[in-house]
Structure 1
Amino acid sequence: MNEEELKKQTLQYRELVGDDLFWFSVSQNVMTIEKDRLRFGQLALEILEHFECDRCCKCCTEMPIHLNDEALERLARLDGDALFDKLDDNEVDNYLKSPCPYLNGDTCTIYEIKPTACRMFPFVVIRPEPTLQLCPMGKRIFATFKDLVRKYGKKDLKVEWEEEGAAIRLPDHTGETGKKAVYVALPIPVLEKFLKYLRLEARQV
């Protein structure tokens, strides 16, 4: 469905149900999206407690780093107006330039207050599903996931491999999208089971 068809269907739905029910439906959808986003972030951080970063700096040099309001405020307190020079002018939302201006060699100079997007990597929000970026650490996480699925016999879990289409390719550090970034889609229920398996495994060590 293209954008025009979507707009047409949205208007038809609004005319059918009326303004009150239409805006109620919109607010419910927004609340659901926000709830899922928060849950994904929580799961990503808890899963990452079981892994150690390889410090390959792929996320710092090749990935667009989004700054939510909280991260923007923290960095503004640190840098003041100088922060604006570190933001990507080509983005509508607040993203740091690539490579990350806070990267010094292979050292993050703001590690203690780094943005949520950095803390969550290689877990990335790419609609419609939460995804795992297959950098060296992401590959190790996914290999562990597959091993635990086999070990605990959960045959019902379906994991979809994706290779990004042109419209949703992630840019590299030059801003180009010629190279496809490969990721795996891991819906929230799958991540919840993965965390459960990691905890079971930790108890056996």
Structure 2
Amino acid sequence: MYEVLRLRDLPFFQTVQEILSFYTCPPTCPAICCKVTDIDVDEKDRKILKKAAKGNTTMIKPSTEYESRHYKINPPCPFLEHDKCSVYHRRPTICRLFPFNICHNPEALILYPCDVGASLFDDFIDYSNCVLRQPISEKMISDFRQSHSSFTLETDRDLPIAMIGIEISDLVPFKKYLESK
């Protein structure tokens, strides 16, 4: 039997952290990330949150989606206070990836159209044009930008959110592109 890797142990985690270091949430961020998606946590994240919550972890429910011990926090996140994370320095691993998130394709990550995701996407468009020489389709750009402009409205109405997939194999070259800018 093999050991189940934690999300932060996956090869792309550090690269995503380095990419995200180029971006910051604006002070007016409405914390959509904490209001729209389930928050998956592993045993280690659960223990960290238990300390942060002073033992009150009733909001962290066991999840049967994975073979190993995993848990889920349903939105909105109970650690969200006045649109700010009250456990920011102890937040779960999945939160440290946002606006990236895991998708069903193991070769890609999805990108949410929040303000940081939109800024990142603009840089990714430049990267695709300049480095990959494979422009992103105008329809995809238009759909993502339209989704970004109505992101808050869509989440309030429980409408679908247009997101894009970014190949994991593009993360390291994209990070190097950002470093060179």
Output the CA distance in 2 between the equivalents of 1:40 and 1:95.
22
Q: How far 1:87 moved relative to its partner?
A: 2.1
Task: State yes or no: 1:192 paired with 2:172.
Answer: yes
| Higher share of residues assigned helix | 1
Q: Who is 2:149 aligned against?
A: none
Task: State yes or no: 1:127 paired with 2:104.
Answer: yes
Q: How far 1:46 moved relative to its partner?
A: 0.9
Q: Contact 2:113–2:163 (CA<8 Å) still a contact in 1? A: yes
RMSD of the alignment, in Å? 3.4
- 1:176-191 maps to which residues of 2 (within 5 A)? 179-191=159-171
Q: How far 1:158 moved relative to its partner?
A: 7.0
Q: Which has the larger radius of gyration?
A: 1
Q: Does the residue aligned with 2:53 lie in a helix, a strand or coil?
A: helix
Q: Who is 1:115 aligned against?
A: 92
Aligned with residue 39 of structure 2, among 57, 62, 65: 65
Q: Does the residue aligned with 1:101 lie in a helix, a strand or coil?
A: coil
Q: Who is 1:18 aligned against?
A: none
Output the CA distance in 2 between the equivalents of 1:59 and 1:35.
18
Q: Contact 1:131–1:183 (CA<8 Å) still a contact in 2? A: yes
Q: Who is 1:12 aligned against?
A: none
TM-score scaled by structure 1? 0.65
**Quick one: which amino acid aligns to residue 45 of structure 1?**
Q
Q: Who is 2:19 aligned against?
A: 47
Moved over 6 A (4+): 33-37, 157-160
Q: How far 1:94 moved relative to its partner?
A: 0.9
Return 5+ residue gaps in structure 2 as ranges: 65-69, 144-153
Output the CA distance in 1 between the equivalents of 2:11 and 2:165.
16
Q: How far 1:79 moved relative to its partner?
A: 3.0
Q: May I ask how many residue pairs the two structures share in their alignment?
A: 160
Task: State yes or no: 1:155 paired with 2:133.
Answer: yes
Same amino acid, percent of matched pairs = 23
